[in-house]
Chain A
Amino acid sequence: MKSVVTHFALIAALAAWPFVVRQPFLTHVGIMIALYATLALSMNLMLRIGQISFAHGAFMGLGAYGSALFMMRLDLPFFAAFLGAGLAVSVVAWLVGQIFLKIRGVYFVLLTFSFGEIIVLLFIEWVGLFGGSNGLANVPPPGLFGHQIQGRGGFYLLALALATFAYLSVRAIYRSELGAVITSLDENENLSRSLGIDAHQYRLLTFCFSAFLAGLAGALYGHYLTLVTPDDYGFSVSVNLVVMNVIGGISDPIGVVLGALLLTILPEFLRDAQQYHGLVYGLLLIVFLLFMPEGLYGAIRRFRRNKWEGSA
């Protein structure tokens, strides 16, 4: 009960934040953090089943193009287009997942990597639908209950709602029996299968939900930028998501959010020195892989445990 109250308080505080601070730049950073937290959580699901997907950039792109096209071509209302795009992406994931998920380890990574590249090339080559290298311009702004959401504050609330949904659902999955099954698939698949668990179906389910979250985040991202271009959805997106997971700590959704927070804030404030982004990302990743493989969350937990034991 206490945790429910604290959660509500936290979310209310986060929601009120930009309307109190009234700094457009900080609101923008908040939107990016919420979107990346959603994406990083979606990647975390894949890391849990031990199959890193490098197709998540493409899933995000499919969501962005999908939602924009549903609104521009089919005149669907925003919410239908947004949800439709997310569902369409999970249908794609379900179709390819049928065969992709039978492949394990490095080969799965390489497979999703190639698939992602094909999707991005498709965005570039199919000019009639996706607008080629220039992409889609003038993506309409979202509207809810007849109101058009154009200001950053409104976007921030939407993005926050999405991130909250992602966080709570991923947390609920990990706390349920489903989470135990999913984790067991990475740790000892044969044992879970001997208990009558259909490993492939669980993998497919995880993959689809992960793609659903990535698609929704992509859809919102496209509406926010009002421009959808193929360059934004390549291989580097998936890499950034993996970096966020490793640095935040993959063992708990809070760690993942922490990673997304840190690695979104950092480049936004390094704007004047854009060339240093990659360097900072790369070096941080190297340091964490070598010295703190459990990420920030793991380090914080170890620190707190040591302190507790020290005082006892």
Chain B
Amino acid sequence: MAQLATQIVINGLASSLVYILMALGFTLIFGIMRVVNFAHGELYMIAAFIVYFFVGSLGWNYYLVVVLAAVAVGLFGAGLERALLRPFIGRELNGMIMAVAISMTLQSAAFILFGPDELSAPRPVAGVIRLGAIVVALDRLVVGIIALFILAVFYLFMRYTKLGLAMRAVVQDEEIASIHGIRARVIHPLAFGLGSMLAGFAGALMAPIYTVYPYMGAQPMLKAFIVVILGGLGSIPGAVLGGVVLGLTESVFATLISTTIATMVSFGIVVLILLVKPTGLMGRSGR
């Protein structure tokens, strides 16, 4: 029983880390630009395809490609903000529809380029570690460690750099921030790029673990969405808390009942939270 519980917790935390990576970008973008980024899953998908192509087909070093993919997706995201989303600042519903349009376009573009097949990227490491009766897959462990590292760097960036401070200020109150000389024109693409980069990291890290295909972004996007509602749209500590809560809840229900029930329960929780406290577990009251 204790072993089962530990295994559930370990599995749950392993998924949590990736959920948090996705959710942090999603929530950062919402917090700063008030855009519900329905294209977040496609950014994840693009990074996974980059890994598939450069590691799988060209045989480049996996860890190098992870960084390259994340940076490329980050730049792409900043470009998207500049070209397509900027006109919709302050118009939340239209911005959201634009994000849906971007998501559809990217999905079909990937479909046309790569076809519908589920491809697999080579794993950087294989095998498992056994601690007594508890089994941890080695590739998951590596992904977990890298994800933790990225989260730590992100935290330090937001906490101790001037840019991080500026971004947190915009999340809190854009008008007051602008009085202090923080320019939205600079912060918006930066935040969208940074959020996209985090999605890129998540996609690149998960590419060898799951299969790579045009619609692979839908699932992690849904998870990010649940996590962010749990924690509060726009709240960065909330995304971390939400990620842990979702990872653990899912792990419990998926192990004991079934994954469909697990998803239903998490959506049920989302509905309850939106009704009772739309600002989420850690959110502030709306503007």
Contact = CB atoms under 8 A, between A and B. Distances in A.
A281 B229 contact: no
Given A106-B93, A239-B100, A279 B105 contact: yes
B87 interface: yes
B278 interface: yes
A289 B112 contact: no
A50 B93 CA distance: 9
Interface string A273-286: 00111110111011
Contacts of B107: 278, 282
Interface stretch (B127-135, B176-184, B256-264): B256-264
A290 interface: yes
Interface stretch (B12-20, B165-173, B265-273): B265-273
Contact of B92 (A105, A114, A282): A105
Contacts of A118: 264, 267-268, 271
Interface residues of A, number: 37
A118 B88 CA distance: 30
A281 B103 CA distance: 11
Interface in B84-128: 84, 87-88, 92-94, 96-98, 100-109, 111-112
A111 B105 contact: no
Contacts of B268: 118
Contact of B104 (A110, A121, A124, A285): A285
Contacts of A243: 101
A122 B264 contact: yes
A99 B273 CA distance: 12
Nearest to B261: A125
Interface in B238-281: 258, 260-261, 263-264, 267-268, 270-271, 274-275, 278
Contacts of B105: 278-279, 282-283, 286
A246 interface: yes
Nearest to B275: A99
B36 interface: yes
Which of B97, B101, B111 has the most CB atoms of chain A within a 10 A radius of its CB? B101
B225 interface: yes
A109 B34 CA distance: 14
B228 to A, nearest CB: 9
B93 A52 contact: yes
B159 to A, nearest CB: 28
B271 A115 contact: yes
B92 A278 contact: no
A268 interface: no
Contacts of B97: 52, 242, 246, 285, 289
A207 to B, nearest CB: 16
Contacts of A282: 101-108
Contacts of B261: 125
A105 B96 CA distance: 11
Given A114-B270, A278-B108, A109 B96 contact: yes
Nearest to B36: A106
Contact of A121 (B36, B94, B264): B264
A278 B104 contact: yes
Given A103-B275, A118-B271, A286 B84 contact: yes
A106 B92 contact: yes
Contact of A276 (B92, B108, B225, B258): B108
Which of A105, A282, A285 has the most CB atoms of chain B within a 10 A radius of its CB?
A282
Contacts of A279: 104-105, 108-109, 112
A281 B104 contact: yes
B114 to A, nearest CB: 11
Contact of A103 (B84, B87, B258, B278): B278
A243 B102 CA distance: 12
A289 B94 contact: yes
A110 B275 contact: no
A79 interface: no
B277 to A, nearest CB: 11
Interface string A220-254: 00000000000000000001001100100000000
A106 B96 contact: yes
Nearest to A105: B92
B263 A121 contact: yes
Most chain B CB neighbours (cut-off 10 Å) among A52, A105, A242, A278: A278
A107 interface: yes
A275 B84 contact: no
A281 B106 CA distance: 11
A246 B105 CA distance: 16
A189 interface: no
Contacts of A239: 100, 104
17 contacts: A52-B96, A106-B96, A107-B274, A107-B278, A110-B225, A117-B263, A118-B267, A121-B263, A125-B264, A275-B112, A279-B105, A279-B109, A279-B112, A282-B101, A285-B104, A289-B94, A293-B94
Interface of B: 34, 36, 84, 87-88, 92-94, 96-98, 100-109, 111-112, 222, 225, 229, 233, 258, 260-261, 263-264, 267-268, 270-271, 274-275, 278
Given A109-B96, A115-B267, A282-B103, 9 more contacts: A107-B274, A107-B278, A110-B225, A110-B270, A121-B260, A121-B263, A239-B100, A243-B101, A285-B104
4 nearest CB pairs, A to B: A282-B105, A278-B108, A282-B104, A285-B101
